[in-house]
Structure 1
Amino acid sequence: MKLLIDLGNTRLKACAHGESLQLVGEIVDNHTLAVWLERNATSITVVAIASVAARESYQLVSSTLKSYLPSIQVFRLQYDAGLLATSYEFPEQLGIDRWLALLPFAKRGEAVVIDAGTACTIDVLSNSKHQGGYILPGLRLQRDVLAQQTAAVSFPRSQLGEVRLGLSTGECVSHGSLRALVTLANDVGEEFGQTVERASLYITGGDAPYFEGHLEAEKRPLLVFEGMLIALDHLIEGNK
């Protein structure tokens, strides 16, 4: 079984791949990774990590993997222009999670991918190349910043999926944050849909459900892991 670890800014997510990709729901940090490995280490044949976290977080996870899987090869996934090139002048500045989320569409050559997480990213794949994108604060980050910089405001969770005019300060913030992100995503989709016939929209990330009903995008909750599997298989094949 392949273990795929997505180490983000705020949490750790993992998928196991035997015959299919399965999200390992209880893994959210290094401690719960250790608990899971204690029960499942003997089933793991290879590990891949994609990390945008601080070096300390990556080193902590690496240490845990070495403790429970001392003889298992661990691959840290990196940008590879041979699989999918980017227009970035300095490709090392492209977040690995953004690159991986585009990788499943590399052969198709066209896609617009929205990753709605701590940050909301929108990336365009055209002519089989990453053309660039946008990075904005995600829904919760926008609300948190406003709450920190202004008088305390309540933000009920039920308001997160609305884009209508707000009828309270909390609604105005929550609805405005979502509407801004939805509008940008639709604009990008329309712009590239006019020039690229098959530039379909795809959405992933923890906040993706809040976009439902406001954005015509295909939901791909495991999109980054789909890309990880492609990148890992490429590395394994190259090491044979």
Structure 2
Amino acid sequence: MILCDIGNSNADFYQDGRVWSLSHKQFKDFATKETVYYICVNDTLKHWVQGKSNFIDLEPYFEFDTIYQGMGIDRIAACSTIEDGMIVDAGSAITVDIMSGGMHLGGFILPGLAAYEKCYASISPRLSLPINPSIALDALPQKTNDAISYGVVKSILLLLEATCKDKRIFFLGGDGKFFSKFFSNAIFDRTLIFRGMLKTIKKTQLEH
């Protein structure tokens, strides 16, 4: 059995504790005779993967307590493993969700770091500069590159800090490990979504 989380930037796989990623182009060349249980937020690839007989879409099998409308299945999978806490998936977008007593209270979405770079570049060619995640946050910047990095990183951290209060924070995603370093009550777990998928497979007895 293989698990697959098809996102906006790539496809992440899980099997027997091992996690690996493929680009969308590589994913289309991926072949296996094993059963692959997947979730997908990429509409283009979703249509493509539906034609694979050994790929099973897990989305219809999830049961999740929320009044949030339009919540992505990747967020649902991650949140379904957490009873209490804040879940931050820092990837192409940064999604933030709050769980309390097994109930989803709501959440919000920020651009990911790469999206912020594109945003600044669209304002002016002079602002087309890479974001330095390791920017010092204890002093005001003295050059444009640092000013952009400071504005992005610090604003994200302050919003996460204000939202989490005393809750435990569960980070995942490509930039999750970086952001987790700023919080003493944080856990970085790149398998969170896959654990949610495994929980659903077990609960619905899909695998025999």
What's 2:38 paired with? 49
Q: CA RMSD in A?
A: 2.2
What's 2:12 paired with? 13
Q: Within 2, Cα distance between the matches of 1:178 and 1:186?
A: 12
1:230 to 187, 193, 199: 199
What's 1:221 paired with? 190
2:158 to 171, 178, 183: 183
Is 1:74 the counterpart of 2:63? The answer is: no
Number of residue-to-residue matches in the alignment: 205
Q: Within 1, Cα distance between the matches of 2:56 and 2:163?
A: 37
Q: Within 2, Cα distance between the matches of 1:51 and 1:34?
A: 14
Among all aligned residue pairs of Structure 1 and Structure 2, give the percentage whose two residues are the same amino acid: 24
Question: Which one has the bigger helix percentage?
Answer: 1
Preserved contact between residue 78 and residue 193 of structure 2 (Cα < 8 Å): yes
Q: Flag the 1:163–1:204 CA change in 2: closer, same or farther, 3 A.
A: farther
TM-score when scaled to structure 2? 0.87
Preserved contact between residue 93 and residue 111 of structure 2 (Cα < 8 Å): yes
Match of 1:182, SS state, is helix
Q: Within 2, Cα distance between the matches of 1:61 and 1:73?
A: 7
Q: Flag the 1:32–1:103 CA change in 2: closer, same or farther, 3 A.
A: same
Structure 1 unmatched ranges of 5 or more? 194-198
Q: Flag the 1:132–1:163 CA change in 2: closer, same or farther, 3 A.
A: farther
TM-score when scaled to structure 1? 0.76
Question: Where has structure 1 moved over 4 Å in runs of 4 or more?
Answer: none
- Write out aligned runs for 1:105-124 (5 A): 105=82, 109-124=83-98
